[in-house]
Copies of this chain bind each other. A is one copy, B any other.
Amino acid sequence: MVADNKFQVLENMGKSPNVVREKAAVTRPRRETLNGHRSVNLWFTGLSGSGKSTLAHAVEERLHLMGCRTYVFDGDNVRHGLCSDLGFSLEDRSENMRRVAEMIGLFIDAGVISLTAFISPLEADRRRVKELIGAENILEIYCNCSLEICESRDVKGLYKKAREGKIKNYTGISSPYEPPKQPDLDLNTGEQSLNECVKIIVAELKDRGVIL
């Protein structure tokens, strides 16, 4: 029973008030030290076509080349996966945001720089995400691009369908977009180049000591 006791001893730590510290010895700070950078979430918000996803992937590429651990969340890997059971009712959108926030929290704990590219049109939703994972862990980046330019891009042809009434509750057309009141970065993605925007974000991460 000696061998067994070795398990017992560690299990017993669970009875102490410090259970998490003693059991989960690999913590966020240790992971950050191993990675050589801090973990954070870059929350891109803006109209469809404002460049959120493009910018998130371009920033990820840059950070990856700098040796950072990164991950981009977008509709593809969230809506079709973790949240595949959810629709677009108010309740479901709210639950979608909650899960995204919880997931970001896990990635932050895991030492990863996550980048989220969701329209996230409502201030209340964005505020709730900050409350759940801590505002200090998020950099809110407003992809500030006029509806005119977004609509002229119309990558997926969805604005056209929305104008024709074939899509209901389309953000910017038939559903509101509430611009962030105090975004950490306000980028004019309609006029600034992709490269300029990437540089601004990387500089901000350096300023904040997230990366070296």
Contact = CB atoms under 8 A, between A and B. Distances in A.
A89 interface: no
Interface of A: 2-4, 6-8, 10-12, 14-15, 20, 23-26, 30-31, 34-35, 49, 51, 53-55, 57-58, 60-61, 64, 67, 69-73, 76-77, 81-82, 84-85, 95, 98-99, 102-103, 105-107, 109-112, 149, 153, 155-156, 189-196
A105 B81 contact: yes
B189 A60 contact: no
Contact of A69 (B69, B76, B155, B194): B69
A57 B194 contact: no
Given A49-B11, A69-B31, A57 B26 contact: yes
This chain's copy number in the assembly: 2
A15 B158 CA distance: 13
Majority secondary structure, A binding face: helix
Given A82-B102, A107-B110, 4 more contacts: A8-B153, A31-B70, A71-B106, A82-B99
Contact of A7 (B11, B34, B98, B189): B189
13 contacts: A2-B193, A4-B190, A6-B194, A6-B195, A7-B194, A10-B57, A30-B64, A31-B64, A31-B70, A73-B106, A99-B99, A103-B103, A107-B110
A210 to B, nearest CB: 17
A118 to B, nearest CB: 15
B82 A51 contact: no
Contacts of A14: 155-156
